[in-house]
Structure 1
Amino acid sequence: MFSIGDFARLGRVSVRMLRHYDAIGLLVPVVVDPVNGYRRYDADQLRRLNRVIALKDLGFTLQQVQAILDDRVDVAELRGMLRLRRAQLEAQLEADAARLVGVEARLRMIEREGRMNTEDVVLKQVPPVRVAELSATAAGYGPEHIGPVITPMYPELHQRLAAAGVAPTGPAIAYYEPAPGGTGDGEPVTVHAGIPVTSGPGTGTGFTVVDLPAIPAAATIVHHGPMDDVMASIQTLARWIEDNGYRPVGYHREVYLEYSPDQADQGVTELQIEIVKD
């Protein structure tokens, strides 16, 4: 048998943790000396310790771990617990991956600070346009929130247009507005994925036709590359707007001149921000 210190080293855990497991009945020593209280463990108990650590690392509480190991959870319930935890871990991985993409984009933007070329900004009028669109809500206005929401909407919209016999007449357009009840400042945003059309919908098409108004004055810039890096182009627009005595009105529009989800790094997107004199 092993002392608590030796057993802790063999199991790669702390003595304090083993004492806690003993106190709650999760991993009880084989022998406790009645005189000095020294705990003794045997090698077979490493198997239980390994299972405790594995289940705890999966996110189960110690109470749940004990119920599982003591066969107080049947197979069906355990399967359900594991599936739920798997879904939680997958969601966390997706969220962390999106957060990492956002951090990398911000770092690239910081590295390019001071090299903004506002000569690429064009002031122009944007004519009205009729679009067929789908709408959804994103958790925020950052690319890490917008991208996962808007990307699947365009293939779905193309399918619905084809089923309705409506032909696109121009490149896809996205625009945004605060979600109902919000201000859009760090809050949910309504995402509109649109495709220009000339005709209105029939019945049961599964999309909405909207007439987007003209923009009398828009500061525009053509963004090259993935939309994860769009903030650099937006900040170039911001610099031009401020330097020329304007202020923005609402959100910007995005016109996807050339874009494929499979070749996002080769995308060409025009950003349009409505402006007025400050």
Structure 2
Amino acid sequence: MYKVSEFSEMTGLSKETLRYYAEVKLMEPAFIDPKNNYRYYDDGSYFLALLLIKLRCFGFTIQEMTSVMEDESFAHLEDLLLHKRANIQLQIEELTSKKEEIDAFLASGKEHEQ
């Protein structure tokens, strides 16, 4: 079992984030000592934390992460990841188009200077 400070250091999640994740029932401590209310995490919590960190990197919202945790289905996670991937591809295409428009605009300005 790991104390909150140890677990925070291991995962890179702040104590505040861990508290918030517990509050929204995203990742609750493995054990809460009834004597002093200290929260403890275990190895299972560690792997769950790594998954949550990865999902946040992928741009998942708290609601989407909660949906993944409640469903516990790889098919559901795969669907969400494919949807995220499609959205990222769309953003890339939109940004590439904007970049090309800027390049064209700058090039046309240089042609008029000469």
Give the TM-score of the pair, scaled to structure 1.
Answer: 0.36
Question: Residues 233 and 56 from structure 1, CA distance in 2 versus in 1: closer, same or farther, beyond 3 angstroms?
Answer: same
CA displacement at 1:16 relative to structure 2 = 0.5
Residue 18 of structure 1: aligned partner: 18
1:48 maps onto 2:48 in alignment: yes
CA displacement at 1:73 relative to structure 2 = 5.2
Q: Percent identity?
A: 25
Question: Residues 71 and 46 from structure 1, CA distance in 2 versus in 1: closer, same or farther, beyond 3 angstroms?
Answer: same
Preserved contact between residue 3 and residue 39 of structure 1 (Cα < 8 Å): yes
Q: Distance in 2 between matches of 1:65 and 1:11?
A: 17
Structure 2 letter corresponding to 1:93: I
Q: Distance in 2 between matches of 1:74 and 1:49?
A: 17
Preserved contact between residue 67 and residue 73 of structure 1 (Cα < 8 Å): no
> Any unmatched runs of 5+ in structure 1?
103-142, 148-226, 238-278
Structure 2 letter corresponding to 1:232: K
Residue 29 of structure 1: aligned partner: 29
Question: Residues 78 and 13 from structure 1, CA distance in 2 versus in 1: closer, same or farther, beyond 3 angstroms?
Answer: closer
Runs (4+) of structure 1 exceeding 6 A deviation are none
Structure 2 letter corresponding to 1:23: E
Structure 2 letter corresponding to 1:21: Y
Greater helix percent: which structure? 2
Root-mean-square deviation (CA), in Å? 2.7
CA displacement at 1:7 relative to structure 2 = 0.3
Q: Distance in 2 between matches of 1:73 and 1:231?
A: 54
1:231 maps onto 2:109 in alignment: yes
Q: Distance in 1 between matches of 2:40 and 2:95?
A: 42
Match runs of 1:14-163 below 5 Å: 14-71=14-71, 75=75, 77-99=76-98, 101=99, 143-144=101-102
Q: Distance in 2 between matches of 1:98 and 1:15?
A: 41
Q: Distance in 1 between matches of 2:66 and 2:110?
A: 52
Structure 2 letter corresponding to 1:19: R
Q: Distance in 2 between matches of 1:96 and 1:9?
A: 36
Preserved contact between residue 26 and residue 66 of structure 1 (Cα < 8 Å): yes
If asked which structure has higher relative contact order (CA below 8 Å, sep 6+), I would say: 2
Q: Distance in 2 between matches of 1:33 and 1:7?
A: 16
Question: Residues 63 and 73 from structure 1, CA distance in 2 versus in 1: closer, same or farther, beyond 3 angstroms?
Answer: farther
Question: Residues 5 and 33 from structure 1, CA distance in 2 versus in 1: closer, same or farther, beyond 3 angstroms?
Answer: same
Residue 221 of structure 1: aligned partner: none
Higher-Rg structure is 1
Q: Distance in 1 between matches of 2:69 and 2:34?
A: 27
Q: Distance in 2 between matches of 1:95 and 1:12?
A: 33
Structure 2 letter corresponding to 1:64: E
